[in-house]
């Protein structure tokens, strides 16, 4: 019985993904077929098709897994301790100073090597 349910769900998911694919292809073709429609109408129809496709996709097993993953990722995002403005400014200043110092070191080393090879000639 469980295997039959699994097969039915797989067929259902495949059918939904085929329908989503048809919506997607239709969305890509829409501007070429309905050239006389205004840009606003084309955009609204594209957004409506996108919304329907997303809602259909969420009805599949993969869609439900994606939604659960998105919720978990959002919960983890809320746990992040973001740096303060002062920390960001200080870190940015340190990075800028290090970049300038390393650039000067590379320039000096390049100048020494260039002078050494010029002297050998």
Q: How many residues in the chain? A: 121
In 10 A of CB 98, how many CB atoms? 10
Domain termination residue (choose one: 80, 97, 113): 80
Mean pLDDT across 13-36: 83
Asked if residue 59 and residue 11 are part of one domain, the reply reads: yes
Tokens 């010029």 sit on residue: 118
Residue indicated by tokens 């070429």 = 32
97 shares a domain with 39:
no
pTM: 0.57
Q: Are residues 75 and 99 in the same domain?
A: no
pLDDT higher than threshold 80 for residue 33: no
Dihedral of the alpha carbons of 29, 31, 33, 34, in degrees to the nearest 10:
150
Mark whether 69 and 103 lie in a shared domain: no
pLDDT value of position 6: 75
Burial of 20 (0-12, 13-18, 19+ CB in 10 A): buried
pLDDT digits (tens, 9 = 90+) for 48-101: 888 988 899 899 899 999 999 999 999 999 999 999 999 999 999 999 999 999
Pair 69, 37 in one domain: yes
Q: Can you tell me the mean pLDDT for 103-114?
A: 96
81: left (phi over 0), alpha (psi -120 to 50) or beta: beta
The answer to whether residues 56 and 92 belong to one domain is no
Show the tokens assigned to 50. Answer: 């996108």
Domain count, the chain: 2
Same domain, 60 and 104: no
* Domain range for 105: 82-121
- Together in a domain, 88 and 75: no
Residues 65 and 102 occupy one common structural domain: no
């Amino acid at each position: 019985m469980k295997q039959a349910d699994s097969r039915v769900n797989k067929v259902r998911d495949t059918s939904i993904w085929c329908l989503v694919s048809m919506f997607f292809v239709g969305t890509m073709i829409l501007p070429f077929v309905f050239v006389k429609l205004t840009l606003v109408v084309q955009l609204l129809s594209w957004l409506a098709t996108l919304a329907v496709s997303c809602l259909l996709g969420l009805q599949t097993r993969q869609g439900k897994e994606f939604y659960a993953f998105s919720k978990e990722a959002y919960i983890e995002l809320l746990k992040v301790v973001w740096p303060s403005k002062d920390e960001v400014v200080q870190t940015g200043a340190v990075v800028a100073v290090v970049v300038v110092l390393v650039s000067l070191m590379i320039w000096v080393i390049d100048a020494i090597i260039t002078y050494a090879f010029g002297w050998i000639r």
